[in-house]
Chains A and B, each alone.
Chain A
């Protein structure tokens, strides 16, 4: 039963869409919590590397849906890993059948040689400048969707990138924020130059953060509604469906992949769907559409007769209490000094 049809239609997706992906902990299930694991990474063969559950069908689905709709789609990867492991990474992407348009690695050797050991771990300056450089090569009308994780600083990097492009962050403020974070002064200068030269437009539609560390969602409240923290790629997929970037069959494909290759159960997916809806990232109408479609295909548990009354009551309640989900183009103004201080406090 549908209590209320959501009158807000998903916006018409742009003609050119750019999907940017972080690599470690976002695409790859990289384990570098211990020194032993860190040392092992360069010696891993492509077939030893493991993708985060659901990410492969999600990226494929995004490309297929956009291509089918006649849109120009581009996929880029940005990694803080050194170029020495590029071969293995590229082979892994080929093994997974992921087509991409560009991939950037961090020249760690250069920092080592110059004795800039701090830069080895600092990613904000590196990633922000690389993103801005890449943006200069994109068609001006292209819209971007960014994918990262909560392991290090992706939420801050992506938000800075989005606000620099949207001209919501003055050069002085960018300077202060990067300085507070401890970015190499040379990279700050470079970032400011790139920011000044950028064609300013509100191009970042959404930032998805994979909660690899299970960071509590409230820790992201200062990032505004543009950023969506998700616990798995099924949650990401349903949000992308809501924004018009995936179809229901593509969402079903992600769900099917999670069940058949990663040990997920229909119950776990149902709980994930309910969670992302409760966190106000999904409208009731979208949640119902996904639920009904996946139920019909056995990917979510069928409704038990005994639960119908409670379910009806819950739906009425949600409808009464419903707030609009995070619809596109709700870009809040971010106070970066407060945000950086709070984000560091949670690390």
Chain B
């Protein structure tokens, strides 16, 4: 069974929600969890909750990085930060993957410092999942978007590698046998988007192992026609934040409407189950986290606002990725290039 290291001190609601999430995972699965952080605090939280101690170990780390800290400086000044200790555990083979809901920049840099890149990978990519329309029963309700911030700009080959990595991840984790890969662009025509995107399009089209369906535009993102969407980190991050912002805006507007007019309130109440479905779709806690791909070891990055359920699911995703050999699959795909 996989051993997953969890940064107990990372996230807006850490360590309480992180520890509780791991406690839930310890009861529901056989995954060996190593909580990294303040040992006394972690045990205090565990002792007040329902947990299975047989599946939990604690690795003390006397420092942690705050969500708002500047990543580079924080890592330099806090050599014993929980994210660094966790990354070291994974790098040294004491754990198989790392989960954190903490500072994204620090997590990415900790992996860069400690994890060995997969041979041939030029840049690692941070993925994220987002809800999309489904076209058939049993289709995964989430699509994978990468990169969402590990890079700023990429060249064509790097985008191609993202496509291979994302495709391998979707094959293993989403169980899509032949994931449809698309390039996020400003038009569906091959010639759109400048040299890098045109070149990437051409190269992706030529790779037989990828089910490349061409370019997609922003308004196609929420449709179900692509399983993996590739873009540069700058663009991916903007898209991701906009999707989150829109979801919050809809909830906010609905709340305002309900307060201002009783008819609207009544209407919203009638639509409650529909809103519930929408909330389920956009509930980050349901999918736990998304991977940082390109290293021999795996990082699963959870949302900063992760609650116990999100952390539990992130641990499960990490264990599944380890069990299903995601990094081996990626290495094999990159080697084919």
Q: Considering residues B47, B48, B53, B59, which has the most beta carbons from chain A within 10 angstroms of its beta carbon? A: B53
The total of chain A residues at the interface (CB under 8 A) is 27
A291 CA / B162 CA spacing, docked (Å): 46
Q: Does B39 contact A (CB under 8 A)?
A: yes
Q: Is the CB of A307 within 8 A of B94?
A: yes
Q: Considering residues A272, A275, A304, which has the most beta carbons from chain B within 10 angstroms of its beta carbon? A: A275
Q: Is the CB of A231 within 8 A of B47?
A: no
> Would you call the interface of chain B mostly helix, strand, loop, or mixed?
mixed
Q: Does A216 contact B (CB under 8 A)?
A: yes
Q: Does B40 contact A (CB under 8 A)?
A: yes
Interface string of B38-57 (1 = CB under 8 A from A): 01100100011111111111
Q: Is the CB of A306 within 8 A of B92?
A: yes
Interface string of A58-84 (1 = CB under 8 A from B): 000000000000000000000000000
A216 CA / B52 CA spacing, docked (Å): 10
Q: Does B93 contact A (CB under 8 A)?
A: yes
Given A267-B32, A306-B92, A310-B85, A279 contacting B43 (CB threshold 8 A): yes
Given A216-B50, A218-B47, A274 contacting B94 (CB threshold 8 A): no
A217 CA / B44 CA spacing, docked (Å): 10
A313 CA / B43 CA spacing, docked (Å): 17
Q: Is the CB of A272 within 8 A of B54?
A: yes
Q: Does A215 contact B (CB under 8 A)?
A: yes
Q: Is the CB of B54 within 8 A of A310?
A: no
Q: Is the CB of A274 within 8 A of B57?
A: yes
Given A217-B47, A306-B94, A268 contacting B55 (CB threshold 8 A): yes
Q: Does B278 contact A (CB under 8 A)?
A: no
Collect the chain B residues with CB atoms within 8 Å of residue A306's CB: 92-94
A306 CA / B54 CA spacing, docked (Å): 22
Chain B min CB distance to A269 (Å): 8
Tell me the A243-293 residues at the B interface (CB within 8 Å): 264, 267-272, 274-276, 278-279
Collect the chain B residues with CB atoms within 8 Å of residue A275's CB: 53, 56
Collect the chain B residues with CB atoms within 8 Å of residue A29's CB: none
Q: Is the CB of A215 within 8 A of B50?
A: yes
Q: Is the CB of A271 within 8 A of B60?
A: no
Collect the chain A residues with CB atoms within 8 Å of residue B62's CB: 317
Chain A min CB distance to B28 (Å): 12
Tell me the B155-193 residues at the A interface (CB within 8 Å): none
Pick from A231, A304, A307, A317: contact of B53, CB under 8 Å: A231
Q: Does A333 contact B (CB under 8 A)?
A: no
Q: Does B272 contact A (CB under 8 A)?
A: no
Q: Is the CB of B57 within 8 A of A218?
A: no
A317 CA / B41 CA spacing, docked (Å): 14
Would you list 20 pairs from A and B whose C-beta atoms are within 8 A, ordered by A residue? A214-B27, A214-B51, A216-B49, A216-B51, A218-B47, A231-B52, A231-B54, A264-B54, A267-B3, A267-B32, A271-B56, A271-B57, A272-B53, A275-B56, A278-B39, A279-B43, A304-B92, A310-B60, A314-B39, A321-B40
| Nearest 7 CB-CB pairings of A with B | A275-B53, A268-B54, A306-B92, A217-B47, A218-B48, A278-B43, A214-B50
